[in-house]
Amino acid sequence: MRKFLSAAGFHGAMAVGFGAWAAHGAQAVLPPQAIDWVKTGASYQLWHALALLGIAALAGSRQPVRLVTISGLVFCLGALLFSGSLYVLALVPLDGEVAPSWVFYLTPLGGALLIFGWVLLFLAGFKKGSV
């Protein structure tokens, strides 16, 4: 439970920080498309921070379902890959460099993991002993 609570705090703080920067300071240094990437990353990361908060509550119950725990791990990795890759794609051009081509593949991979995490939660609802 504590690990998911910490993960929720980490992802929530990161999302709010990037979201606030995109809304109040990024216009001076980023083009509009890059600002949209940061806003999208922050939005998805914040929603999944809330999901992790719910998973922390479920993991602390008497009989957490294994699928709930796996879902939390998948959310952590998916949010990091999806949002993190969008942040990198938005910020790397600040140095005059171009993001490595493999970074472009992390966004859909992270998105697929986020979807998979929700599917795992869906399946957990059908397991005997689910919370």
How do residues 5-40 score in pLDDT, each as one tens digit?
999 999 999 999 999 999 998 988 888 999 999 999
CA dist., res. 103 & res. 81, Å (int): 9
Of 117, 108, 109, the C-alpha closest to 4 is 117
pLDDT at site 104: 87
Side-chain half-sphere CA neighbours of 29 within 13 A: 14
- Using a pLDDT cut of 90, give the percent of the chain over it: 66
pLDDT at site 84: 96
| pLDDT tens per residue across span 42-66 | 999 999 999 999 999 988 776 668 8
Instruction: Look up residue 46 and give its two tokens.
Output: 């914040």
Maximum distance among all alpha carbons in the chain?
54
Q: Is the pLDDT of residue 131 over 70?
A: no
The pLDDT of 94-122, averaged and rounded, is 88
Token look-up 């998979």 returns: 116
Locate the domains of the chain by residue range: 2-124
Q: Is the pLDDT of residue 99 over 60?
A: yes
